[in-house]
Chain A
Amino acid sequence: GAGVSQSPRYKVAKRGQDVALRCDPISGHVSLFWYQQALGQGPEFLTYFQNEAQLDKSGLPSDRFFAERPEGSVSTLKIQRTQQEDSAVYLCASSPGQGPSYEQYFGPGTRLTVT
Chain B
Amino acid sequence: AQTVTQSQPEMSVQEAETVTLSCTYDTSENNYYLFWYKQPPSRQMILVIRQEAYKQQNATENRFSVNFQKAAKSFSLKISDSQLGDTAMYFCAFRPDSNYQLIWGAGTKLIIKP
Determine the residue in chain A with the shortest Cβ distance to B100: A48
Chain B residues lying within 8 Å of A103, measured Cβ to Cβ, are 47, 50
Q: Which of B11-65 contact A (CB under 8 A)?
A: 32-33, 42-47, 50, 52
Chain B residues lying within 8 Å of A91, measured Cβ to Cβ, are 45
B102 x A104 contact (CB < 8 A)? yes
The A interface is mostly helix, strand or loop, or mixed, namely loop
Q: Which of A43-82 contact B (CB under 8 A)?
A: 43-45, 48, 55-56, 58-59
Query: Complex Cα distance A103/B52, Å?
Result: 12
B106 within 8 A of A: yes
B81 within 8 A of A: no
Contact of A108 among B43, B101, B104, B107 (CB under 8 A): B43
Kindly provide the distance from the CB of B80 to the nearest chain A CB, expressed in whole angstroms: 22
B100 x A108 contact (CB < 8 A)? no
Query: Complex Cα distance A47/B37, Å?
Result: 19
Chain A residues lying within 8 Å of B97, measured Cβ to Cβ, are 99-100
Considering residues B33, B42, B43, which has the most beta carbons from chain A within 10 angstroms of its beta carbon? Answer: B43
Contact of A89 among B43, B50, B95 (CB under 8 A): B43
A contacts, CB < 8 Å to B: 31, 33, 35, 40-45, 48, 55-56, 58-59, 89, 91, 93, 98-101, 103-104, 106-109
